[in-house]
């Protein structure tokens, strides 16, 4: 059986007219950065990269050493290639325009360098999430306003998961495709073609410790799942929660499920828990391209008009029929 590399796959996508050469090359640069991050994650304590960095990010969260390392790797890999006009990271308050020392391209790259980094020290899967937008025409000096595009404007999105194997998941709007890193060869190999999410599921992922803060529609929904065969759903459900969005979404993409970080009274002032631009939008694009659905509970995530770079939103995504049920409960409330 012929093994197709990421480069070969991307060239075929370009030939089909699904991406241009600059976007293809940008995807390859991101993939190289992912490989470098994977090396650092896999070495762990051997390389002295575990533990706190001694600094906070723009969200006021304590940074891990690997948060900082992953952020630096992505910036250094992408700033000189000539494909980008600017970058934005979850870890940094302001956008990073491409320096005049380098050629400037037509894309904007947003990323969460290391999602789930609180799991690093206990050796649980973490990942990287990224989103690609086009820089508006005529923008000679990119500003934060150029990034304020709804998720429907994304031209590509993806994530990597650093687990027993390193996998890279991509979409350019035409299906979702998975690649596994062959560590000996140093290449991503096309291993998961046309990934799809079943419309129905018996698994759900939510941080149950926040139950007392949830709004009534979510309490109603989760209560029905917990009631199992004896409840109104008349079947048993299993809860899975990794506390790493990448890991939880990857499970859903592999075998179905619903992931929820809903609005709750604790997070209401902030607008939600997860970041729209770095987490919700790219994951929503991937999930919808795989046949699933993604909502805040009240509106489609991809249709939200961003108002600030680090905006937060509630997230409900995964198997279509379950997400639609949660949305219906919000509408009825």
- The answer to whether the annotation marks 207 as part of a ligand binding site is yes
* Adjacent-strand bridge partners of 110: 88, 131
- The answer to whether the annotation marks 112 as part of a ligand binding site is yes
Place of tokens 């429907």: 152
Could you please report the per-residue DSSP string of 117-131? GGGGGGT--EEEEEE
- The answer to whether the annotation marks 108 as part of a ligand binding site is no
* Adjacent-strand bridge partners of 238: 203
Quote the CA–CA distance of 221 and 237 in Å, as a whole number.
Answer: 12
Quote the CA–CA distance of 23 and 105 in Å, as a whole number.
Answer: 10
- Phi/psi at 271 (5° precision): 95, -5
Pick from 269, 275, 265: nearest CA to 304: 275
Overall residue count recorded for the chain in this entry: 333
- The answer to whether the annotation marks 116 as part of a ligand binding site is yes
Element of type H or E holding 74: helix 65-78
- The answer to whether the annotation marks 230 as part of a ligand binding site is no
| Residue 207, token pair as written in the block | 């941080």
Quote the CA–CA distance of 327 and 100 in Å, as a whole number.
Answer: 46
**8 Å CB contact between 204 and 239:** yes
Give the number of other Cβ atoms within 10 Å of residue 217's Cβ: 21
Task: Report DSSP state, residue 145.
Answer: G
Quote the CA–CA distance of 20 and 175 in Å, as a whole number.
Answer: 17
- The answer to whether the annotation marks 118 as part of a ligand binding site is yes
Q: Which residues are annotated as a binding site for substrate?
A: 115-118, 207, 273
Residue positions forming the annotated binding site:
90, 112, 114-118, 207, 273, 279
User: Annotated binding residues for Mg(2+), as ranges?
Assistant: 90, 112, 114-115, 279
């Amino acid at each position: 059986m012929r093994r197709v590399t990421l480069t070969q796959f991307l060239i075929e996508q370009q030939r089909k007219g699904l991406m241009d050469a600059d976007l293809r090359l940008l995807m390859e640069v991101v993939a190289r950065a992912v490989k470098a991050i994977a090396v650092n994650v896999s070495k762990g304590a051997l390389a002295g990269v575990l533990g706190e960095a001694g600094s906070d990010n723009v969200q006021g969260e304590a940074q891990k050493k690997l948060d900082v390392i992953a952020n630096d790797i992505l910036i250094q890999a992408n700033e000189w290639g000539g494909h980008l006009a600017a970058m934005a990271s979850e870890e940094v308050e302001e956008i990073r325009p491409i320096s005049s020392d380098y050629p400037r391209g037509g894309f904007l790259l947003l990323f969460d360098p290391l999602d789930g980094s609180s799991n690093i020290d206990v050796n649980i899967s973490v990942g990287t999430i990224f989103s690609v937008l086009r820089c508006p025409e005529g923008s000679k000096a990119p500003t934060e306003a150029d990034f304020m595009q709804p998720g429907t404007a994304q031209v590509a999105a993806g994530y990597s998961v650093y687990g027993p194997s390193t996998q890279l998941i991509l979409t350019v709007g035409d299906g979702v495709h998975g690649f596994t890193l062959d560590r000996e060869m140093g290449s991503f190999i096309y291993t998961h073609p046309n990934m799809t999410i079943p419309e129905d599921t018996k698994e759900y992922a939510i941080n149950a410790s926040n139950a007392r803060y949830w709004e009534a529609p979510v309490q109603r929904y989760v209560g029905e799942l917990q009631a199992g065969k004896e409840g109104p759903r008349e079947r048993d459900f299993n809860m899975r929660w990794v506390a790493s969005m990448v890991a939880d979404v990857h499970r859903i993409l592999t075998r179905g499920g619903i992931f929820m970080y809903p609005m709750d009274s604790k997070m209401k002032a902030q607008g939600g828990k997860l970041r729209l631009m770095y987490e919700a939008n790219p994951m929503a694009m991937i999930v919808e391209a795989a046949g699933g659905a993604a909502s805040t509970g009240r509106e489609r995530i991809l249709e939200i008009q961003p108002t600030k770079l680090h905006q937060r939103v509630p997230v409900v995504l995964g198997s279509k029929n379950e997400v639609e049920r949660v949305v219906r409960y919000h509408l009825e409330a």
